[in-house]
Structure 1
Amino acid sequence: MGLENLQKAPGSTHSTKRLGRGQGSGLGKTAGRGGKGQTARTGSHEKRGFEGGQQPLQRRLPKVGFYSRFEKPYVINVEKISAVKELSEITVDTIRTVHKMSSSVKVVKLIGASAKGLASKIKDENVKFSGQN
């Protein structure tokens, strides 16, 4: 297969700016850098967010957000999912047999009016009920 006929798409390339070639070129004298000052100098670079000595916006605004190191429990309302009430013993694995939940779930919290009454059936420390920490 011949690669000799490959050409760049029309308009995809531009000629390079030829700086400092006289006033008639439009890029003479200051060579497109404006007047004097810090930005006209070679190697000029300001830090991202620098505002000329004014307190930068990212430092004027308060810090936002928080990431908790504690895993939130998967909450099940036993009034709505009554199949959990009928289980003889309640563990995370037995709840999975009657209620579809992600395999990443490790801690379950039972809520609802009758959740406290199920305390004697709970055989797993990863299953908690409302009112219990």
Structure 2
Amino acid sequence: MRLNDATPQEGSKHRPRRVGRGIAAGQGASCGFGMRGQKSRSGRPTRPGFEGGQIPLYRRLPKLKHFPLVNRSSYTIINVDDLSSLAANTEVTLTSLIKAGIVTANNGPLKVLGDGDVSVPLTVRAAAFTAAARAKIEAAKGTCELLGANSSTSK
């Protein structure tokens, strides 16, 4: 059997409705769409999902709770206060923090938050810094080096 041999079952195909051809044809005058209203007008079907001007369901749902962001980026976060226990001029990376036991899990690239204070100069290499964290590290004569988020090993 070939594709061109395939034919529809007997009786499954109906002739198209010929509307607007007079009352003898059975679909004269209003053509089966009734007298008045939006559904009787020319070009009549509304678009899929239209709810009469009310915000449609596909636009309402993402505003509700429990709709997570698509492709959400997750970071291994650490506060500046946790870095204050390190020795001066230490190079701080995600792997060095895991070896030191300050960070216990690798939840993605490293992000430094600005809670607390640091008094020793450090060279911090991370994927992201908050403005407060960057200011506190640089105020302590340290440096902040921005790594690409994809360059560090993520989970």
TM-score for the superposition, normalised by structure 1: 0.40
Q: Which has the higher helix share?
A: 2
